[in-house]
Amino acid sequence: MSKVGILGGGSWGTALANLVGCNGHDVLHWMRDRDAVSECNGQRTNTRYLPGLALSNRIEATSDLARVGQECRLILVVIPSQSLRMVVGELGNHLDGGHLLVHATKGFETGTFKRMSVIIREETCTKKIGVLSGPNLAKEIAEGQPSATVVASKYKEVIEASRQVLVGPTFRVYGSSDVIGAETGGALKNILAIASGLAVGLGFGDNTKAMLLTRGLAEISRLGIHLGAHPATFSGLSGIGDLMATCFSPLSRNFQVGARLAKGESMEQIVGAMNQVAEGIKTTRAVHEYGQANGLYLPITEGVHRILYDGVSPRLVLAELMESTRFMYEVDPEIGVE
């Protein structure tokens, strides 16, 4: 099993496959779309998601999940959160205890609020699981711009195997044992990216975005600590690093959702025009429901939820946040963020 498996033919899955291939490793890239498989193998491109990128000759695309399990020991799972259980469940029929699975999916399962690593553990016999998370915009990585990420796992073998195939001249990999923290930071930053896009779309500047991001980091830390994460994780690449990249970049799909909502487009128009999943939309609902059930103070998440699902005006939500004494003056000694 000398090949590296990649599940998911979107922009991030394609960028990772190309990164691994350019680092000199053979890649078996699973895609659901057979036309995309043919394009990748025949033309060395994925024009739908990363137009203009010439893919490494070491990548072989396939729509056969069994082959991935049979030929690849290390498998990177880059599937939208609400589809991950189905795909990994099918993959699980072809795995044994020797496989290493690292997911790069940022979200929670709707209805259960389960993290992706928990789903992978439930659906496969694999225990050696990790999460890849950080300030990783697919287009910039595909262009070879200097970038870094975190691979978090309880197993050093998972981290080292990931480093061996991902590290290259323009990409660094840091290790962590805090799986919960990496997954929580990666999921919630998408909610904050929607809020940041809303602020920009309304014409506000850097002060407003900085306020939202700083208070948003407090929300991420509050939920993460509640779930069992280490507070220091949120000061690193998979916390503040990922938050900054996603909330300040127009390349972010979630940022685009917020900006377009602020300009008056409906959710139906926005989602219908996107060819990829903006995870923050469903993550907002999942976190809102969990926060309500557990009495967590998550004001920005609640505000974004009202905008997305209740049709409340973004300006009204921001005005209410600014009028909230608790929002403006709260000090949370447990997480050390004012």
Residues 6 or more apart from 43 whose CB is under 8 A from it?
none
Classify residue 106 as left (phi > 0), alpha (psi -120 to 50) or beta.
beta
d(CA 264, CA 51): 29
Burial class (CB in 10 A: 0-12, 13-18, 19+), 334: exposed
Q: Which residues pair with 106 in a beta bridge?
A: none
Residues 6 or more apart from 163 whose CB is under 8 A from it?
151, 173, 175
Classify residue 113 as left (phi > 0), alpha (psi -120 to 50) or beta.
left
Catalytic residue among 3, 106, 128, 189: 189
Say whether 106 is catalytic: no
| Inter-axis angle of helices 116-123 and 81-91, nearest 10 | 20
Q: Which positions are annotated as active-site residues?
A: 189
